[in-house]
Chain A
Amino acid sequence: MDVTALLLSRIQFAFTISFHIIFPAFTIGLAAWLTVLEALHLMTGRSAYRVLFEFWLKIFGVAFGLGVVSGIVMAFQFGTNWSVLSKMSGPIQGPLLSYETFTAFTLEAGFFGVLIFGRPRVPPWFYLFSTAMVAMGTAISAFWIMINNSWMQVPVGYVVENGAFVPDDWTKIIFNSVVWVRFPHMLLGAYLTGAFCVAATGAWYLLRNKYHAEAHIMLRMGLFLAAVLVPAQIWFGHLAGDYVHEYQPAKFAAIEGRWHDEQPAGEVLFAIPDPASETNNYEIKIPVLGSIIGSMSLTSKEVGLTSFPPQDRPPVLIPFFTFRIMVGCGLVMLALAWLGSYLSLKDRIERNRFLLWLVFLSFPLPFIAILTGWYTAEVGRQPWVVYGVLRTADAMTPFLTARAATISLVVFCAVYTFIFAFGIFYIYRLLRAGPAGHLIEIPSGAVPNRPMSLADEGLGSDPKYVGAGE
């Protein structure tokens, strides 16, 4: 086995999946928001809801497209780079991911076409139904992905036969308590991403004195939803920590920056861990809090990294810092959501430009939190790909050459950078132009940067025919 190819394959997987997760994280929340808007419009008949729907649908189209194309790569990458893993765990991971494709991917793709092109061709109830189906598809997709990943974190319900993991109890695999902590954690993360992106867009328009009615709806709905969801998310985050503590003590020790067994254990708030000397530099530590967080006890003994043989320890720096970044983002979001909701209820938020700026600038926070949360989970699982039973180094395609791995990494980086740069640019232009869609009259020249100068005009008169994403 080629060590360089292993490193390159790991970088490639991390890169492609990080790129991919950004889009589902965004579209899961956005699809739910679109369903709510469409339902509100049907119920109240208020045109602002329809305007917002059409506006966010354009953005959804671009993000969804990027999610689909980057998702196709994932279906192949397990096989191309990790053939030993895909052969050994194929009997478990294969069926789980096939359920994902069967129940979710096709649901999304099938009804997405109706969403983009079908309004003039289907009755309103069916259009709402299609929107809900897309939203449900995205959530079901997350469900299966979380079962699959949770099995890699805490493998259960299998026996080893002929060098393969053979499932002997699917109920254990699917109803594993770990799944039912991590799936809500991911789903809430995605809904929060949607909420903050919507609220930030509303704040942006208010700062620019544009689209007052729509901006008001976006800001309020986004902040109120976040105010409820962030505390729930913190609770599920805590439960996720409990499972790590129970099943993956080495990962827990790495996250905590705890090198040696401690009783009672302190909680390291900040430090720069030094793997060479197995100590922390610049440590800020609160005594006993580590035992309280880990075991809800004032006296419990908490395990340190040095209790594990070096070859079974995860890298420390990445999980240690990514975890703190994730928690930090969560706390900032909590403060913003509560303060913003309070001011919004008092009808004072629109005069508070400082807070509007903060809300506007907050949109990267949920993305950062999701990515760093995943880095904590995945890097912390190392050196295992299936925790405790299959090492990452043994899971790679044995004959993969460094040359092939280099080529593929370069190609993926180039292609993804290319499409991502343009995708972000087009989303930015759509957001900047605002919901000045074809439903409301805008005096010419009112919107300086109309994004789709040509295609947009064509669309107004014949929506069933112009290309996707419009």
Chain B
Amino acid sequence: MVMFWVTLLAVSILLYVLLDGFDLGVGMLFGLTNNETRRRAMLGAVAPIWDGNETWLVVTAVILWGAFPAAYATLLPAFYLPLLVMLAGLIVRGVAFEYRHKTERMRWIWDRCFIGGSFAAAFIQGLTVGALVEGLPIVNGQYAGGDFGWFSPFAALCGVGLCLGYALLGACWLVKKCEGDVRTSAYRLIPYLSVGLLVFLVVVFVYALAEELQVMGRWIERPYLFVFPVIGALAAVVLAVSVRYRRDELPFPMVILIFLSAFGTLAISFWPYMIPFVLTIDEAAAPQSSLAFMFWGEGLFVFPLMLLYTFISYRVFRGKVAFTPEHS
């Protein structure tokens, strides 16, 4: 039962990162153009699905609460201020989707909210992962770091790294969904973003070695973990080739593979901890009666349905965004 819920939690986090990742990425790239036609094409590529994508964040939060209440109750207050920033970012960027079309004079405000909110949310998500990797100050099962105990240069670096990663996902999504200018400029961005991401990964690796982070110990104990970086590297090669030959459908799945390998790396280096080296999955788990109640309804029946209607909504909005230049 615990394994089932840990798996669902992992799937939900992964879906959130991949799906909201690309629409946050598009939000960040939105700032690179002032052209209303292009901006509309970019919005058109994410508008019908962003809402469903963000749902996975809530799904993650409630699975964490229901199935692993101790982890939920430890992590959320520890990241009090960062989560506030993330929520504020998600709120203003969410309403920007609706509001920017309701006004012309004030549109610039909503566009800035959209860009800034996307950056804030992506940065904070990277920062929290970084802080977890580095280890939170936790004493007797309770966070003891004060208002800013989560901050470190390494965590901030991870925030920047995830911004790059999401922007790369976003660029590949635009290549897949758009035509014309937007597609061309997205193609131009992909090499820069990928190289940026690569540099970030190398820096993280060197830093982790230099600081002798506890997580690194896992790598020496478990050399088979290196299969993940290898998958990532292969995906990066295919990405480069597909960009070179302008194969619109390929870059996005390749970046997904890179994200999967990074996610797998992290997940397995954390195992069996939920909060690294403080709280294990079993310690964090809710009592059997809670897990079973969740399993026999939402786990067994509703979760597959959710995947189904996520699939349906992507299917309904498949293909390139219809785009006619006279709308500018």
Chain A residues with CB under 8 Å of chain B are: 61-62, 65-66, 68-73, 75-76, 78-81, 83-84, 86-87, 90-103, 105-107, 109-114, 116-118, 121-122, 161, 164, 166-168, 170, 397-401, 403-404, 407-408, 411-412, 415, 418-419, 422-423, 426, 429-430, 451-455, 458, 461-462, 464-470
Contacts and interface: CB of A to CB of B under 8 A. Distances in A.
21 contacts: A65-B95, A76-B83, A83-B76, A87-B72, A90-B65, A90-B66, A90-B70, A90-B290, A91-B69, A94-B290, A99-B294, A122-B316, A161-B287, A401-B147, A404-B80, A411-B84, A455-B101, A461-B327, A465-B321, A467-B101, A468-B48
Contact of A399 (B63, B66, B144): B144
Nearest to B65: A94
Contacts of A170: 289, 293
Contacts of A65: 51, 94-95, 97-98
Nearest to A459: B101
B122 to A, nearest CB: 16
Interface string B33-57: 0000000110110011101101101
B37 to A, nearest CB: 10
B4 interface: no
B317 to A, nearest CB: 7
Nearest to B53: A109
Given A83-B76, A103-B298, A106-B306, A95 B84 contact: no
Chain A binding surface, main DSSP class = helix
Nearest 10 Cβ contacts at the A-B interface? A90-B69, A79-B76, A94-B66, A87-B73, A455-B101, A94-B65, A469-B98, A98-B62, A102-B298, A98-B66
Contacts of B91: 69-70, 72-73, 415, 419
B297 A101 contact: no
Interface stretch (B191-199, B200-208, B259-267, B307-315): B307-315
B40 A83 contact: no
Nearest to B286: A91
Contacts of B77: 79-81, 83, 397, 399-400
A101 B322 contact: no
Residue of B57, B69, B72, B302 contacting most chain A CB atoms (<10 Å): B69
Contacts of B43: 467
B100 interface: yes
B303 to A, nearest CB: 7
Contacts of B152: none
Contacts of A97: 62, 65-66
B58 interface: yes
B52 A103 contact: no
B6 interface: no
B62 A76 contact: no
Contacts of B40: 458, 465-467
B13 interface: no
Contact of A400 (B52, B80, B286, B327): B80
A166 B289 contact: yes
A427 to B, nearest CB: 9
A90 B286 CA distance: 8
Nearest to B295: A95
B47 A468 contact: yes
B277 to A, nearest CB: 20
Contacts of A461: 324, 327
B61 A75 contact: yes
Contacts of A80: 76-77, 79-80, 83-84
Interface of B: 40-41, 43-44, 47-49, 51-52, 54-55, 57-59, 61-63, 65-67, 69-70, 72-77, 79-81, 83-84, 87-88, 90-92, 94-95, 97-104, 106, 142-144, 146-147, 286-287, 289-290, 293-294, 297-298, 302-303, 306, 309-310, 312-313, 316-317, 321-324, 327
A424 B59 CA distance: 29
A105 B63 contact: no
Nearest to A467: B101
A399 B142 contact: yes
Contact of A452 (B72, B102, B324): B102
Contacts of B76: 76, 78-80, 83, 86
A71 B57 CA distance: 12
A373 to B, nearest CB: 26
B95 A66 contact: yes
A113 B317 contact: yes
Given A95-B293, A103-B302, A399-B142, A68 B44 contact: no
A124 to B, nearest CB: 14
B65 A407 contact: no
Contacts of B321: 465
Nearest to A90: B69
Residue of B40, B55, B67, B147 contacting most chain A CB atoms (<10 Å): B55
Contact of A72 (B57, B142, B297): B57
B117 to A, nearest CB: 10
Given A91-B289, A117-B47, A468-B47, A76 B87 contact: yes
Nearest to A117: B48
B70 A110 contact: no
A467 B327 CA distance: 13
A167 B72 contact: no
B65 A98 contact: yes
Contacts of B143: 399
Contacts of A98: 59, 62-63, 65-67, 294, 298
Nearest to B41: A465
